[in-house]
Chain A
Amino acid sequence: MLSEYIFWFLSFVAVFSAAGMIFSKNPVYSVLSLIVTFFAVAGHYFLLGAQFLAAVHIIVYAGAIMVLFLYVIMMLNLNELEEEKKSLYTKALSFFAGGVLMLVLIAVVRRTEELQLIQPAVYNADLGLTQHLGKVLYKEFLVPFELASVLFLSAMVGAVYLSKKDLA
């Protein structure tokens, strides 16, 4: 019962801070709202028993990526007056793209209910613990895991190359 209340509370916080991120005029407020959203989502991971995912979510997204976002925004010192005005055409296109993405997500959520991918009777609650996750990742899904790491590595090399280009 308690976890249900926590679920509703976290969902409320997540939705409202996400809306705040989009609607606030000041980019710093946007970043701060997004951080609150990340915390609410991490709370959901905790409720689902995925402790490792929750902790890494906080460390990577809230603790590293958003710090860099905030860094850049503070450095540029953006404010609402300097905000680039977008044309009606761009706005309509982004609205369309966002709507399509939302449709896809709703379809996926509906399908999971029909397919019954998660069966509470046989669900292993310890699955999200670090030890289990490590064993699954490094034994059952070793090749996809390593492929993902190679992808990350190439992205890193690309980022370094792009930042060095001006020097050459």
Chain B
Amino acid sequence: MDSMLIYKALLTVGVFAVSLGIAAYLTWGERKLAAILQDRVGPDRAGPFGLLQPLADGVKMLMKEEMIPSKANKWLFIFGPSFFMLTACMTGAVIPWGSGITVDGVVYPLQVTDINIGLLYLLGVVSIGVYGIMIGGWSSNNKYSLLGALRASSQMISYEVAMGMALIALTMITGTLSLGEISRQQDAGLANVVYQPLGFLIFIICAFAETNRAPFDLPESESELVGGYHTEYSSMKLGFFLFAEYINMFISSAVMATLYFGGYNFPFQHELGLEGNTLAILQTAALFIKIAIFIFVFMWVRWTLPRFRYDQLMNLGWKVLLPLSIANIFITGIVMWALGKLN
């Protein structure tokens, strides 16, 4: 039991480190992809293909002068980005990163904790994540920051509703809130996206809005609000805000892959004749390929679509996505009733 505890602690550190490492390289990936889409070369000075660029950026962020505006609320000004980073790192704990490695007959699960309210935990962490932006924006004591913070909070609350409704329809099918169990079910049957195409569509749109990514990046829209909620931030505190966005993107890609696209399972995995740990490693690799595809979609959309106007954003959230997600619940219920799946 003690070795399990040590293993879990190591796994927590591992998930944390992997999230940070991937987020660092996503900044490089984003700039490279933007360059390709705009017919440019992109970063290529630091190391081969500019691969050392994230390190250079990190050093730059750390070495820059720390600035706290004289009229700002000092403690909350520091608390904002720290809390945003904390909530970004918290969600990785419930995602099953693989089926489990067996050593000496003991199965070591690749999931930090399989709590049976996993989905609610995700929603809870996402819903308190907005405080980082709100507190950061308010404590800066700047009109633009405050506007960015207000936009962020109303946007995130609006899209959380539709996101929760989309997840309710998913829960009706799976009958569980545990992410580990949802992954295992998709091993036996088809991926959930086959049963919940509309739910997935709503979920991915809400995921874009929750991570404040274009076309929903109104909280920081640089063309109207200077820099939005992080206008007054410099140095690593700004780095935290920017970095947490990439962690959020990575985690929400992982959540979408787990909930709707089979998690770590891949097609015909049991026909390969592979057993135990080899299969488990391949499954983890499959999950990361799915995550990479979703991250590519996130970046692709950002460099393709223009930003929404604020009233369009609210109309989409409340008048399109919310009714659609409620209709989705009804349709799911009727189909399940017709197939005799209700008990």
Contact = CB atoms under 8 A, between A and B. Distances in A.
B123 A67 contact: no
A70 interface: yes
A58 B150 contact: no
Interface stretch (A9-17, A49-57, A91-99): A49-57
Contacts of A51: 115-117
B20 interface: no
A104 interface: no
Interface in A43-100: 51-52, 55-56, 58-59, 62-64, 67-68, 70-71, 74-75, 77
A149 interface: no
A63 B150 CA distance: 15
B149 A130 contact: no
| Closest A-B pairs by Cβ, 10 of them | A63-B127, A55-B120, A58-B124, A59-B124, A74-B138, A55-B117, A51-B117, A71-B153, A63-B128, A59-B127
Name, among A58, A67, A68, A71, the residue most crowded by chain B CB atoms within 10 Å (CB to CB). A67
B131 interface: yes
How big is chain B's contact interface, by range?
Answer: 20 to 34
Contacts of B127: 58-59, 62-64, 67
Contacts of B138: 28, 70, 74
A35 interface: yes
Interface of A: 28, 32, 35, 51-52, 55-56, 58-59, 62-64, 67-68, 70-71, 74-75, 77, 129-130
A156 to B, nearest CB: 12
A130 B76 CA distance: 36
Main secondary structure of the interface of B (DSSP, over half): helix
Contacts of A32: 135
A64 B160 contact: yes
A55 B153 CA distance: 20
Nearest to A58: B124
B16 interface: no
B177 interface: yes
A74 B134 contact: yes
B150 A75 contact: yes
Nearest to B177: A130
A74 B124 contact: no
Given A56-B120, A67-B131, 18 more contacts: A32-B135, A51-B115, A51-B116, A52-B117, A58-B128, A59-B123, A59-B124, A62-B127, A63-B124, A63-B128, A64-B157, A67-B127, A67-B134, A67-B156, A70-B131, A70-B134, A74-B138, A74-B150
A67 B116 contact: no
A70 B127 CA distance: 14
Name, among B115, B120, B135, the residue most crowded by chain A CB atoms within 10 Å (CB to CB). B120
A74 B130 CA distance: 14
A45 to B, nearest CB: 11
B121 interface: yes
A77 B150 CA distance: 12
Interface in B205-228: none
